Each structure stands twice: as structure tokens, then as C-alpha cells.
A = this chain, B = another copy of it.
């Protein structure tokens, strides 16, 4: 992927994103494997606190974080409810980065964003020892490290033409409003929706914006930053990650509204309710 003549190639970056948590030996075992194969690699944690088996949350976090890393970064995701089953292990070369993970859709929003160049199935017997329960250590980490150490992408395994799809869903315009989805709730309780920030001006210009959750409507105040809200006042913000957010000043909007990642909601405009 990186061609150099006579001079040292730049240090490769491998990021890790899992639902392994921080107590178990799983993440450090993966790091040990990577450093054994490619000693000069820089390993960066994205997070290991994805809700167990929550593929959508992992896809969202990868989508948000990956764009800020240098071109050529290798992102490894292990959120893998089907480990040991027949689901394939994938490597996806995109226009900007390389993605490694299970074929459950978790890599696809980033792959689609940067543009898929090539998808390959990583050979089952890729690494010396392969368990049935820890492909992070035995397949995904060695594959990423082998790429970092100079292996050709095509040598990972055969081409794949039908990776499993996943996207963040589409905003549905309805009479007097729209229907959308919560992608993520952050530590501060901010709700990140799947509504593009490009729509912020259009929505913020509406008269009387309300969010309807479980049949109850709450007024939203358009704002630019979190501190603009008064106590118990819900804000509608353009968000820093390209999606519209809903927040409550120094409190959790998620708890206040009783809403969770994956839930849908309705925005209503004007007096049509």
C-alpha cells in the first residue's frame, strides 16, 4: 500500500475497536500479537467499551473516529456475535484506510464513506493457532499486523463481492415533520441522530420544533453549543460529527426523554400536532 525506495516507510497505525471491555486479557493479547508480527506499529485504541454485540454502535463509533486518522491507517473492529460460526472475516481496502473485521456490516458505513476498492475474505487458517472463540487475536490482529509489516492485500484471501450491508437508516420526511433514528448516546447523555448536519439550517428555520417520543412532545431550541440551554431546556445542535444532536444543558437528554440508541423518533414542525 505504501511504496518507498530505500527510505524507511512511515510508521503504520492500527486502531482497535472492540466490545471486550478493559479488564480481560483479550485486548492486550491482540496488542501482543500485533507487536510480535509488526514491532514498529503504533496501536491506538478507539474504544473497547462498545455494548457487547452492539454492531450498530460499533459501526457509528468507527465512522466518527476513523475520518480523523492519517491515510493508510488500518482499523480493526471486533464486535462479533457470530464468532466461530460461518460468518466470514473481511478485509476491506478503501480509498483512504483499510478495514478488518467480521462480515456483519460493522465496517460498511466507513467503507461506503471512503469508497470500497477491494474486499477480501481473510483465510480461516491465517495465523499459526486459531481458536474457535477468539478471532480478534487469531485472525483479525494477525491480518492487520501482516499488512502493517508489508504483506500484500491480495494475499489475505479470496475476493468477496457480497459483504453484508449496514447503514444508519434514512430520514423519512412526513407531513409536517420527519422521522429519524438515534445512533448513539454519548457520556454526557447527548443524543446523536442519523439526521445530517447539512439539514440543520433547514430544520432550525422551522417555527416551533418539537421531538415526539412515546407520544409526548417536547420543544427543541435551535442552538450552536451546549451551554446555550437553560435548565431542562432541550437543544437542537448541528453536532461535531456531521449529525444533528439533541442535548440538555449539563444533564442527560437520553435519560430525560427515555430514549436509547436504535430508537426512532419524530420531529414535528409548526402547529400541526
Chain A positions near chain B (C-beta within 8 angstroms): 10-11, 13, 15, 19-26, 28-33, 35-36, 39-40, 42-50, 52-53, 61-62, 64-70, 73, 81-85, 131-134, 137-138, 184, 186-188, 224-228, 237-241, 245, 250
A29 with B65, Cβ < 8 A, contacts A22-B47, A227-B82 known = yes
Contact A39 B10 (CB under 8 A): yes
**Could you jot down 19 A-B contacts, CB within 8 Å?**
A21-B187, A22-B48, A23-B47, A24-B186, A24-B187, A25-B62, A25-B241, A26-B186, A28-B65, A29-B64, A29-B68, A31-B44, A32-B69, A35-B69, A68-B137, A83-B225, A83-B226, A84-B225, A133-B237
A33, A50, A131, most chain B CB atoms within 10 A: A131
Q: Which residues of B contact A53 (CB under 8 A)?
A: 250
A28, A83, A186, most chain B CB atoms within 10 A: A28
A81 with B35, Cβ < 8 A, contacts A22-B47, A28-B44 known = no
The SS class assigned to the A binding surface is loop
Report A267 CB to chain B, min CB distance, Å.
20
Q: Which residues of B contact A62 (CB under 8 A)?
A: 25
Q: Which residues of B contact A29 (CB under 8 A)?
A: 64-65, 68
Q: Which residues of B contact A10 (CB under 8 A)?
A: 39
Question: Closest chain B residue to A16 by CB distance?
Answer: B28
Q: Which residues of B contact A184 (CB under 8 A)?
A: 24
A61 with B24, Cβ < 8 A, contacts A133-B239, A237-B133 known = yes
